[in-house]
C-alpha cells in the first residue's frame, strides 16, 4: 500500500512540478532582472553612466551640427560668389553619420562599466552560491542579467533620439528617417553584442577591475582588427575584415540594414551568452 | 525513508582528493553534525549536496530525488547557508528576503506570510528596512539563516553557522537551530565541539576527506573511552613533598590497567588518572588499598573524556572500524 501511494504521490508531484517549472522559468529570470536593475540604480553606476553619456553625446552632436552647418553655409556662400547654385549637401545625414560613428567609440568605453561587476561581484561576495543553489536555470540567471544591462543601455540610447528630433525640425528637405532608424538598429545590435561579451568576461574573473580592463581590451581589439586586414589583402584579410565589428556597424550608419551584418551582430551576442553559459558549467567544476 | 542519502561520494580536484567514498544518511527532523578540522571536506560535501558543485563519483538522494537527475527538485527542497552568508550589501533585509523567496519559487502570498514569520524566528523584526551593509555580523548571520528557511525547505544545510559570532549570539543561533530541527532535517558543519554535543543528534566526523566515525555524541564518548577511567586524589602520609612516592604502587592494585596521567604535587597531594577494567569493583579495591596504606583518600570519580579528546584521538589515530 505504501508502495502504491508513494508512486501516485510522485506522479502528482511530477505533474505539478512540470507546471510550476514553466511558470517559475520566467519568474526566476524576472527576479534576477529586477534585482540587477535595482542594483544599477541603488549604486551610483547607472546615474554616472547615464549622465556622462548624455553630456558627451550632446557635446558631439552639437559640435557636428555646428561644423557641418558651417561647411554647408560656406560652400553655399562660395557658390553664390561665383554665381553657381549651392552644392547639394545633406547636412543631417553627415551629422548623423559622424554622430553614430562616435557613438560606437563611446560605447566601447561605457559598456564595460555596466557588465564588469555582473558576475565578478557575485563571485567575490559569495552570492553566486545563492543563485546557483536556488532552483534557477543557469540560462535564467544569465538572461536576467543580460536584459538588465540591455535596459540600462536602452535608457542611455533612447533620450538621444531628441537630437534626431532637433535635426528633423530644422532640416529642409525633411531628413531620411529610414537611415536614422537603421543607425539605431545598428547601435542596439552593437550594444547587445558588446554587453554579451562583457557578461562573459565578467563570469571568468572575481575581480571587477580585471573584468573591466579585459572587456575594454577585447572591444578595442574587435574594433582595430580591421587594421590588420588592410595591411595584408589575402584570404586572411577577408576573414579579419568580416570579423571587424566596426565594418558591420558602419553598414547601419550608412542607412543599410544588411542581413549579413544583422546576422553577424546577433550571432556575436548569442555567442557571448553561450560562452557565459559554458563558463558557468566550468565554474562549478572548479569551485 | 532517509531524507538525506549519500553513497560513495567522492570529489577530486585534479590530483587532489577533497572527499573520498563518503556515505551517510539522515532521517526526518534529525540534526546531523559534520565535524572536522579545517580542510576536512565539510564545505565540499555541503556544496555537492546543495547542487552548487558536481561530485566526481557517488550518489546523493535528497527527499528521494537524485541530485544529478532532478537537481531542480532537490534545490527547491534545500535551504542553504554557506560559510559566508550570501548577502547583497545594498539591499534592505526585507528586499533581500523577498528576492530570495522569489528565486526559490515561493508563491507571492506565501512569501509575504513567510517574511513575517522568519523575521520573527530570527529576531529581525526591527531591521527590516535596514540596509544589510549597516548590519552587525551577528545580524548578518541571522539574515543568512532567514534566507535559508524562508521557503520552508525540508532540508537545511548550514555551513559553520556560528562562526564569527560572539558567545551570546552563538547561544541564540544554537537555540534557533534546535528549534529548526523540529521541522526540518538539518545538516550542520562546525569545528566547534560543544556545538555538536549541544545541538546534534548524530555526529559525522570527517578527516582529510574521509569519514572517521558516525554516532551519537554519547555513543562516540562510550565507544572511544577505551576502557573506563577513574580519577583519584589522595594525600600520602608523609609530611614532606611527595617526591619519594612511586605511583606504580597503585598500578599494582588488581583491575588497574595503567596510569594515564599523574600529578605529583610538591606537597603530599597526589592526583592520578587510572585506566581500569571495571569501574565499580576497582573502586572498592582502590579505596581499601589506599586506606590500608594509611593514605587519605580525598576524591574518587569516573572520568569521561571530552569530545575534544575524542576528536583529537579520532583524527590523529587510526580510524575506528
Per-residue DSSP letters for B94-136?
A: HHHHHHHHHHTT--HHHHHHHHHHHHHHTT-GGGTTSBGGGS-
Enter the C-alpha cell of residue B32: 546531523
**Closest alpha carbon within chain A to B63:** A10
Check CB contact of A21 with chain B, cutoff 8 Å: yes
Partners of residue B78 in chain A, C-beta under 8 Å = 133
ipTM of the complex: 0.82
Taking the C-alpha atoms of residue B235 and residue B242, their distance in angstroms, rounded to an integer, is 9
Question: Is there a domain that residue A266 lies in?
Answer: yes
Q: What is the pLDDT along chain B (321 residues), one digit of tens a residue?
A: 688 999 999 999 888 899 999 999 998 889 999 888 888 889 999 999 998 888 999 999 999 899 888 888 899 899 999 989 999 999 999 999 999 999 998 888 999 999 999 999 888 999 999 999 999 988 999 999 999 999 999 999 999 888 878 888 888 888 888 888 888 999 999 877 777 878 888 989 888 888 888 888 777 766 665 567 788 888 876 655 555 567 777 777 887 877 877 777 666 788 888 877 766 778 888 888 888 887 888 888 877 666 667 777 776 654 443
CA distances from A252 to A210, A247, A279, B234 (A): 32, 9, 32, 99
Per-residue DSSP letters for A113-132?
A: HHHTTTTHHHHHHTHHHHHH
Instruction: Look at A31 and B54 and tell me if their CB atoms are within 8 Å.
Output: no
Q: Are B273 and B230 in contact (CB under 8 A)?
A: yes
Q: How confident is the model at residue A239 (pLDDT cuts 50, 70, 90)?
A: confident
User: What is the distance in angstroms between the Cα of B132 and the nearest Cα belonging to chain A?
Assistant: 13
Local structure of residue B46 (DSSP, 8 states) = H
Question: Is there a domain that residue A10 lies in?
Answer: no
Radius of gyration of chain B, Cα coordinates, nearest whole angstrom: 25
| B184 and B67 co-located in one domain | yes
Instruction: Look at B72 and A17 and tell me if their CB atoms are within 8 Å.
Output: yes
| B87 and B185 co-located in one domain | yes
In this complex, the residue of B73, B88, B103 whose CB is nearest that of residue A136 is: B103
Nearest Cα residue to A102 out of A70, A157, A56, A159: A56
In this complex, the residue of A42, A43, A133 whose CB is nearest that of residue B75 is: A133
- Looking at per-residue pLDDT, the higher value among A169 and B307 belongs to A169
Taking the C-alpha atoms of residue A175 and residue A143, their distance in angstroms, rounded to an integer, is 37
Stretch (H or E) spanning B261: strand B256-264
| B54 and B148 co-located in one domain | yes
Does A196 have pLDDT greater than 70? yes
Q: What is the mean pLDDT of chain A?
A: 86
Check CB contact of A130 with chain B, cutoff 8 Å: yes
| Domain assignment of residue B176, given as a range | 4-223
CA distances from A143 to A33, A271, A273 (A): 8, 13, 8
- Looking at per-residue pLDDT, the higher value among A287 and A49 belongs to A49
Instruction: Look at B52 and A129 and tell me if their CB atoms are within 8 Å.
Output: yes
Evaluate the CA torsion angle A225, A230, A232, A235 in order and state its sign: positive
Question: Is there a domain that residue B314 lies in?
Answer: no
How many domains does chain B divide into? 2
| B74 and B196 co-located in one domain | yes
Residue where one domain finishes, among candidates B191, B223, B255: B223
Question: Is there a domain that residue B315 lies in?
Answer: no
Instruction: Look at A126 and B51 and tell me if their CB atoms are within 8 Å.
Output: no
Nearest Cα residue to A191 out of A164, A218, A156, A160: A156
**Closest alpha carbon within chain A to B55:** A285
Pairing of strands B78-81, B57-62: unpaired
The pLDDT tens digits for A45-98 are 899 999 999 999 999 999 999 999 898 888 888 888 888 777 777 888 888 889
Taking the C-alpha atoms of residue A96 and residue A183, their distance in angstroms, rounded to an integer, is 9
The pLDDT tens digits for A6-40 are 555 666 666 555 544 544 568 889 999 999 999 99
Between the two ends of chain B, the Cα-to-Cα distance in Å is: 25
CATH number of the domain where residue B156 is located = 3.40.50.300
The widest CA-to-CA distance across chain B, in whole angstroms, is 81
Amino acid at each position: 500500500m505504501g508502495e502504491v501511494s508513494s508512486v501516485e504521490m510522485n506522479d502528482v508531484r511530477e505533474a505539478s512540478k512540470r507546471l510550476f517549472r514553466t511558470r517559475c522559468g520566467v519568474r526566476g529570470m524576472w527576479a534576477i532582472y529586477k534585482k540587477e536593475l535595482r542594483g544599477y540604480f541603488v549604486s551610483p553606476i547607472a546615474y554616472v553612466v547615464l549622465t556622462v553619456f548624455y553630456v558627451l553625446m550632446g557635446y558631439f552632436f552639437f559640435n557636428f551640427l555646428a561644423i557641418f552647418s558651417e561647411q554647408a553655409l560656406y560652400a553655399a556662400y562660395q557658390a553664390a560668389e561665383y554665381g553657381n547654385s549651392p552644392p547639394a549637401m545633406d547636412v543631417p545625414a553627415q551629422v548623423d553619420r559622424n554622430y553614430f560613428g562616435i557613438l560606437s567609440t563611446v560605447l566601447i568605453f561605457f559598456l564595460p562599466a555596466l557588465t564588469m561587476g555582473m558576475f565578478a561581484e557575485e563571485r567575490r561576495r559569495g552570492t553566486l552560491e545563492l543563485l546557483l543553489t536556488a532552483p534557477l536555470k543557469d540560462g535564467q540567471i544569465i538572461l536576467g542579467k543580460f536584459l538588465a544591462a540591455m535596459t540600462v543601455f536602452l535608457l542611455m540610447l533612447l533620450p538621444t533620439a531628441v537630437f534626431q528630433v532637433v535635426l528633423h525640425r530644422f532640416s529642409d528637405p525633411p531628413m531620411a528617417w529610414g537611415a536614422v532608424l537603421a543607425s539605431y538598429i545598428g547601435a542596439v545590435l552593437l550594444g547587445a553584442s558588446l554587453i554579451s561579451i562583457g557578461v562573459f568576461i565578467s563570469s571568468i574573473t572575481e575581480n571587477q577591475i580585471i573584468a573591466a580592463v579585459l572587456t575594454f581590451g577585447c572591444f578595442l581589439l574587435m574594433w582595430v582588427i580591421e587594421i590588420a586586414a588592410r595591411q595584408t589583402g589575402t584570404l586572411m584579410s577577408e576573414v579579419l575584415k568580416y570579423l571587424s565589428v566596426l565594418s558591420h556597424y558602419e553598414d547601419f550608419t550608412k542607412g543599410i540594414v544588411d542581413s549579413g551584418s544583422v546576422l553577424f551582430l546577433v550571432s556575436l551576442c548569442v555567442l557571448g551568452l553561450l560562452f557565459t553559459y559554458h563558463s558557468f558549467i566550468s565554474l562549478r567544476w572548479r569551485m | 525513508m532517509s531524507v538525506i542519502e549519500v553513497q560513495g561520494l567522492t570529489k577530486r580536484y585534479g590530483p587532489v582528493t577533497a572527499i573520498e567514498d563518503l556515505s551517510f544518511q539522515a532521517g526526518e527532523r534529525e540534526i546531523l553534525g559534520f565535524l572536522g578540522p579545517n580542510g576536512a571536506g565539510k564545505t565540499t560535501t555541503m556544496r555537492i549536496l546543495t547542487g552548487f558543485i558536481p561530485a566526481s563519483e557517488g550518489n546523493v538522494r535528497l527527499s528521494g530525488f537524485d541530485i544529478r537527475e532532478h537537481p531542480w527538485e532537490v534545490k527547491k527542497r534545500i535551504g542553504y547557508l554557506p560559510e559566508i552568508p550570501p548577502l547583497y550589501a545594498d539591499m534592505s533585509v526585507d528586499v533581500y528576503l523577498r528576492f530570495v523567496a522569489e528565486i526559490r519559487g515561493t508563491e507571492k502570498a506565501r512569501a509575504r506570510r513567510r517574511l513575517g514569520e522568519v523575521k520573527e524566528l530570527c529576531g529581525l523584526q526591527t531591521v527590516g528596512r535596514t540596509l544589510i551593509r549597516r548590519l552587525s555580523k551577528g545580524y548578518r548571520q541571522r539574515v543568512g539563516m532567514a534566507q535559508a528557511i524562508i521557503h520552508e525547505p525540508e532540508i537545511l544545510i548550514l555551513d559553520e553557522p556560528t562562526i564569527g559570532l560572539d558567545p551570546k549570539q552563538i547561544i541564540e543561533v544554537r537555540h534557533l537551530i534546535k528549534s529548526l530541527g523540529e521541522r526540518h532535517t538539518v545538516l550542520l558543519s562546525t569545528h566547534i565541539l560543544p556545538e555538536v554535543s549541544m545541538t546534534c543528534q548524530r555526529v559525522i566526523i570527517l578527516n582529510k576527506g574521509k569519514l572517521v566515525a558516525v554516532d551519537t555524541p554519547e555513543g562516540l564518548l562510550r565507544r572511544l573511552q577505551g576502557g573506563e577511567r577513574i580519577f583519584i586524589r589522595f594525600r600520602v602520609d608523609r609530611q614532606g613533598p611527595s617526591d619519594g612516592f612511586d605511583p606504580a604502587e597503585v598500578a599494582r592494585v588488581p583491575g588497574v590497567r595503567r596510569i594515564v596521567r599523574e600529578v605529583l604535587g610538591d606537597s603530599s597531594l597526589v592526583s592520578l588518572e587510572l585506566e581500569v577494567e571495571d569501574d565499580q569493583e576497582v573502586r572498592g579495591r582502590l579505596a581499601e588499598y589506599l586506606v590500608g596504606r594509611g593514605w587519605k583518600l580525598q576524591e574518587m570519580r569516573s572520568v569521561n573524556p571530552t569530545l575534544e579528546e575524542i576528536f583529537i584521538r579520532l583524527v590523529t589515530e587510526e580510524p575506528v572500524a
